[in-house]
A and B are shown apart, each in its own frame.
Chain A
Amino acid sequence: MTSPGTVVPDPNPLRDDQDRRLPQIAGPCGMVIFGVTGDLSRKKLMPAIYDLANRGLLPPGFSLVGFARRDWAHQDFASIVHDAVKEYARTEYRDEVWNQLAEGFRFVPGDFADDVAFDQLRTTIEDLDRERGTAGNHAFYLSVPPKFFPDVIGQLKEHGLADGQHGSWRRVVVEKPFGHDLKSAQELNAIVSQVFAPESVFRIDHYLGKETVQNILALRFANQLFEPVWNSHYVDHVQITMAEDIGIGGRAGYYDGIGAARDVIQNHLLQLMALIAMEEPTSFDAHNLRTEKQKILRSVKLPDDLDLHTSRGQYVAGWAGGEKVKGFTDEDDIPKSSTTETFAAIALEIDTRRWAGVPFYLRHGKRLGRRVTEVAVVFKRAPHLPFTQTATEELGHNALVIRVQPDEGVTVRFGSKVPGTAMELRDVNMDFAYGGAFVESSPEAYERLILDVLLGEPPLFPQHEEVELSWRILDPILEHWESVGKKPDPYSAGTWGPTSADEMLARQGRNWRRP
């Protein structure tokens, strides 16, 4: 290639904005995964890369380098990927796709402190540029605990891996958590930003895969129906729930000391809240979208009495979905005395004209009733009901529910007459489901995220300002919990959380939806 980066690209005559069948295929590039032996890498990343290849979305010559402390040869690595793909890939397994990919697999054994290994990594990458035409474009995926970030990033810089030559790019992908409080997030950012420019840092938040975000944007800004009522005149409150039916599984080492609020509320739920609450961006490009989200995060106000308006819980042994399960403190590698919360609920307000006086309730927990993520916008009751008291007894609030997973869609809840001679009203649901597409053939979150990294399209990835703003919201709550030093309220596994969460809403005359 005649140094492709320096060529000012003429518009490609084969591309046309009108030609919407043509998928965007990333330019020549490769990816390096650190921590390739981890769960995430095997269950999500490798299958996603295969699925992308299967859909024809990876560039010809795409290469994958694994880096881990294992005594493997390239073939061993390939066979690990092969097994992962066979087991977890969502698209059909095809030999020719596999062969195309497998030619670009390399493995570099080593420690993060090992200079020799990083030298070898550089040689490997340079070889790939020659043999596979990856043209110096490489993404480094840090699928490792945050405590290793400084080492890895330092090594990348030291061995000249962080800077692309001749206009080629180097990008770094980091997984949440982005720190465990504001201070650590800033430190982490300082380390990363010393080496990589902000637009080269991709913070992956897979719950905010493009599909979900775009669906929310479409629902809010493509319709005339909802926007007029999307404010404090009509909205009573908003509930954002992310519930998991599983326990902490094999994540004990990571989870203990982190807890539900840091693990999920800080990133996923606050991001969802920002998307639901933000004003219409002037366009959907990265900058404008981010500006609007940041405005919301900046205007968040915490409740005055954190005791009354937050709740934290910890699951105890019980029956969940027909199975007997352990309590949190009985899980392997969790100390009996652990005060880490597995359930957290907080109430926030947004100080803007649109949302004044509308509480946003955010909750997340493990071992809850079922696995579900949803945003419910609950409307005020009609100001006047020209019915008898008995007719409207069963009538609740209207609600618009955006179901994020597992059954992606929208539900509208409203009152209707019960068939019969008597006038009696009851709440009914109107459901819309986004086809089976979300389980069958449309790209999974990781596929879209990886593709965006390779294409260099960051609009949906939070940047460090958003991360820091989110910590600014959460830090006072975490500090308060710590200063009180109370053990989290127990809740039986398989239920919807501790009673303190119910009381928290009941004080304001509301109650949680059962999602």
Chain B
Amino acid sequence: MALEMTGTNASKIAAALLEARRQAGSPSMGMVMTLVVVTDEGDHYDSLRAARAVSREHPSRILGVIRRSGRGAANLDAEIKIGDGGSGEQVLLRMTGELTKHPESVVLPLLLPDSPVVVWWPGKAPDDPARDALGALAQRRITDMAAISRGRAHALLQQALNYEPGNTDLTWTRLTPWRALLAAALDQYPAKVTGGEVAAEGSNPSADLLAAWLCDRLGVDIERTRSKGPGITSVRLATGGGDIEISRPDGVLARFSIPNAPERPVALKRRLTAELLAEDMRRLDPDDIYADTVKRLCRLAGRRPPNIEETLSTKQDPPQSRRTPRDTAKTGKPAKIAAKTAGPRKSATKAAKKGTKKTGTPTAAHSRTRTSTTKKAARKSTRKSTR
């Protein structure tokens, strides 16, 4: 079923979704989460198609958000699609005018009650997803630094510096088969690794992450060398008994070799976006290994890593409570949880400021936006609770 609505608002869209479910004869909802896809006119077809494919594994309400020109009158158009190769509902929201600055006002009322929210930026993503108005609504924020055309390495570092629990990047997800194979190699040949090398095409953020991960886990220097690609072409780990090497010159079939064993072929395909997304959505708790890896990435780049240790302590709280002070104000349980959420944030800001003194980097700007968003959120919450 497909339905187009122009000049509409969130409550009309919600009503239309309910009506559509009733008409389908099965008003119950099997959807388990909301997936917000922040996309644009050029890309929404592909990214929503990937999202629909994922919804077969994770039945979800998919909200596509397109922010069009900020000029002109504020307007919201919506395209509703139900069925059609996915399981769940899909709404494509087109925003124009001043509304483009407040997309969360449309998305918030359309979130499924009491279930997780994932925000995915298939293309360009905010430098600090957790402080983004839409990102702040989510438990899981998925970016893809390989999707941007220029300055990927820098963009990845930026994401790493602004890491917050719940952030992940598809460049990390792409590594899972490589990491699995490397772990299997060390299962088969448990030797002390003394050094290593990751070879990939010039701008490949996944390769940078892989090198950082290996360096972090193995405690040795990992050389990052350039090759012609495609993607990552080989990983070599040096041990006393010889090299462990996985090489994939053609992007499809890899050769797997460990000391004292015959070389073997392994299919190591580059996966589709939908598969990557499905993997990411399988677990919605913070990815601690990714956190360690981005910290290492920052250190390798000579930058101060994000202060994750303290923010990690919020992990014990249910995801909703750590999201924003807004929620706590709404539920009227201010003191204890608010203090907890505020605690690490304050110190994170402090740490970031300290960091800026040394390096004089964009973190400074971020720490400022951070406080301002928090304030804004607090203001909003008071407004809401008085209503």
Contacts from A to B (Cβ < 8 Å):
1-2, 4, 7, 9-10, 12-16, 18-23, 25, 27-28, 53-54, 56, 59-61, 94, 96-97, 99-100, 103, 130-133, 135, 430-433, 435-437, 440-442
B241 contacts which chain A residues (CB < 8 A)? Answer: 2
Q: How close is B24's CB to chain A, nearest CB, in angstroms?
A: 13
Also in contact, A14 and B217, with CB within 8 A (given A22-B179, A27-B187): yes
Partner of B253, one of A28, A100, A130: A100
A96 contacts which chain B residues (CB < 8 A)? Answer: 252-253, 265, 267, 269
B30 contacts which chain A residues (CB < 8 A)? Answer: 431-433, 435
Partner of B266, one of A19, A27, A100, A131: A100
Q: Are A133 and B261 in contact (CB under 8 A)?
A: yes
A436 contacts which chain B residues (CB < 8 A)? Answer: 56-57, 59, 87
A18–B290 alpha-carbon span in the complex (Å): 10
Q: Which 8 A-B pairs have the closest CB atoms?
A: A436-B56, A133-B261, A61-B264, A60-B256, A14-B183, A97-B267, A25-B184, A60-B264
A435–B52 alpha-carbon span in the complex (Å): 12
Q: Are B265 and A1 in contact (CB under 8 A)?
A: no
CB-nearest residue of chain B to A16: B289
Q: Are B218 and A13 in contact (CB under 8 A)?
A: yes
Q: Are A56 and B56 in contact (CB under 8 A)?
A: no
Q: Are B57 and A1 in contact (CB under 8 A)?
A: no
Q: How close is B31's CB to chain A, nearest CB, in angstroms?
A: 10
In the assembled complex, B186 has its CB within 8 A of some CB on chain A = yes
CB-nearest residue of chain B to A436: B56
Tally of B interface residues using CB under 8 Å: 48
CB-nearest residue of chain A to B288: A18
Q: How close is B112's CB to chain A, nearest CB, in angstroms?
A: 14
In the assembled complex, B329 has its CB within 8 A of some CB on chain A = no
Q: How close is A435's CB to chain B, nearest CB, in angstroms?
A: 5
Mark each residue of chain B from 252 to 291: 1 if its CB lies under 8 Å from any CB of chain A, else 0.
1100101111101111110000000011000100011100
Partner of A25, one of B187, B217, B269, B289: B187
A9–B188 alpha-carbon span in the complex (Å): 9
Q: How close is B282's CB to chain A, nearest CB, in angstroms?
A: 8
A94–B56 alpha-carbon span in the complex (Å): 22
Also in contact, A14 and B179, with CB within 8 A (given A2-B241, A2-B260, A432-B30): yes
A269–B386 alpha-carbon span in the complex (Å): 58
Q: Are B269 and A94 in contact (CB under 8 A)?
A: yes
Q: Contacts A56-B267, A431-B28 known; list 4 others, CB within 8 Å.
A: A13-B217, A132-B262, A435-B56, A436-B59
In the assembled complex, B177 has its CB within 8 A of some CB on chain A = yes
A25–B180 alpha-carbon span in the complex (Å): 7
Q: How close is B183's CB to chain A, nearest CB, in angstroms?
A: 4
Also in contact, A441 and B57, with CB within 8 A (given A12-B183, A56-B181): yes
In the assembled complex, B145 has its CB within 8 A of some CB on chain A = no
Q: Are A99 and B189 in contact (CB under 8 A)?
A: no
In the assembled complex, B182 has its CB within 8 A of some CB on chain A = yes
CB-nearest residue of chain B to A429: B28
Also in contact, A15 and B183, with CB within 8 A (given A96-B252, A432-B30, A441-B278): yes
Partner of A103, one of B218, B265, B269: B265
Q: Are B188 and A13 in contact (CB under 8 A)?
A: no
Q: Are A437 and B57 in contact (CB under 8 A)?
A: yes
In the assembled complex, B105 has its CB within 8 A of some CB on chain A = no
Q: Are A1 and B186 in contact (CB under 8 A)?
A: no
B258 contacts which chain A residues (CB < 8 A)? Answer: 1
Q: How close is B113's CB to chain A, nearest CB, in angstroms?
A: 16
B279 contacts which chain A residues (CB < 8 A)? Answer: 21
B58 contacts which chain A residues (CB < 8 A)? Answer: 435, 437
A99–B269 alpha-carbon span in the complex (Å): 13
CB-nearest residue of chain B to A437: B57
In the assembled complex, B176 has its CB within 8 A of some CB on chain A = yes
Partner of A99, one of B176, B188, B253, B283: B253
A440–B53 alpha-carbon span in the complex (Å): 10
Q: Are B265 and A100 in contact (CB under 8 A)?
A: yes
A437–B32 alpha-carbon span in the complex (Å): 13
B7 contacts which chain A residues (CB < 8 A)? Answer: none
In the assembled complex, B25 has its CB within 8 A of some CB on chain A = no
A255–B183 alpha-carbon span in the complex (Å): 46
Q: Are A435 and B217 in contact (CB under 8 A)?
A: no
Q: Are B57 and A435 in contact (CB under 8 A)?
A: yes
A10–B256 alpha-carbon span in the complex (Å): 22
A21 contacts which chain B residues (CB < 8 A)? Answer: 173, 176, 179, 279, 283, 287, 289
A15 contacts which chain B residues (CB < 8 A)? Answer: 183, 187
Q: How close is B311's CB to chain A, nearest CB, in angstroms?
A: 16
Also in contact, A440 and B179, with CB within 8 A (given A4-B189, A61-B264, A133-B262): no
A13–B218 alpha-carbon span in the complex (Å): 6
A54 contacts which chain B residues (CB < 8 A)? Answer: 267
CB-nearest residue of chain A to B86: A436
CB-nearest residue of chain A to B286: A18
In the assembled complex, B72 has its CB within 8 A of some CB on chain A = no
Q: How close is B4's CB to chain A, nearest CB, in angstroms?
A: 26
In the assembled complex, B332 has its CB within 8 A of some CB on chain A = no
Partner of B289, one of A7, A19, A59, A135: A19
B87 contacts which chain A residues (CB < 8 A)? Answer: 435-436
A19–B173 alpha-carbon span in the complex (Å): 12
CB-nearest residue of chain B to A18: B288
In the assembled complex, B42 has its CB within 8 A of some CB on chain A = no
In the assembled complex, B302 has its CB within 8 A of some CB on chain A = no
A56–B248 alpha-carbon span in the complex (Å): 15
CB-nearest residue of chain A to B58: A435
Q: List 27 A-B contacts (CB under 8 A).
A: A1-B188, A1-B189, A2-B260, A9-B190, A12-B183, A13-B193, A14-B186, A14-B214, A16-B289, A18-B289, A19-B179, A20-B283, A27-B184, A27-B188, A28-B188, A56-B177, A56-B267, A56-B268, A60-B256, A97-B267, A100-B266, A130-B262, A433-B30, A435-B30, A436-B87, A441-B56, A442-B57
Q: Are A61 and B262 in contact (CB under 8 A)?
A: yes
- In the complex, chain B residues 67-113 whose Cβ is within 8 Å of any chain A Cβ: 87
B287 contacts which chain A residues (CB < 8 A)? Answer: 21
B265 contacts which chain A residues (CB < 8 A)? Answer: 60, 96, 99-100, 103
A61–B259 alpha-carbon span in the complex (Å): 14
Partner of B260, one of A1, A53, A431: A1
Q: Are B262 and A131 in contact (CB under 8 A)?
A: yes
Q: How close is B65's CB to chain A, nearest CB, in angstroms?
A: 24
Q: How close is A61's CB to chain B, nearest CB, in angstroms?
A: 4
- In the complex, chain B residues 159-203 whose Cβ is within 8 Å of any chain A Cβ: 173, 176-177, 179-184, 186-190, 193
B56 contacts which chain A residues (CB < 8 A)? Answer: 435-437, 440-441
Also in contact, A23 and B278, with CB within 8 A (given A100-B267, A103-B265): no
Q: How close is B318's CB to chain A, nearest CB, in angstroms?
A: 16
A2 contacts which chain B residues (CB < 8 A)? Answer: 241, 259-260
- In the complex, chain B residues 120-157 whose Cβ is within 8 Å of any chain A Cβ: none
A23–B180 alpha-carbon span in the complex (Å): 6
A100–B267 alpha-carbon span in the complex (Å): 6
A23–B175 alpha-carbon span in the complex (Å): 12
Q: Are A12 and B262 in contact (CB under 8 A)?
A: no
Q: How close is A79's CB to chain B, nearest CB, in angstroms?
A: 19
A440–B58 alpha-carbon span in the complex (Å): 11
B253 contacts which chain A residues (CB < 8 A)? Answer: 96, 99-100
A271–B367 alpha-carbon span in the complex (Å): 58
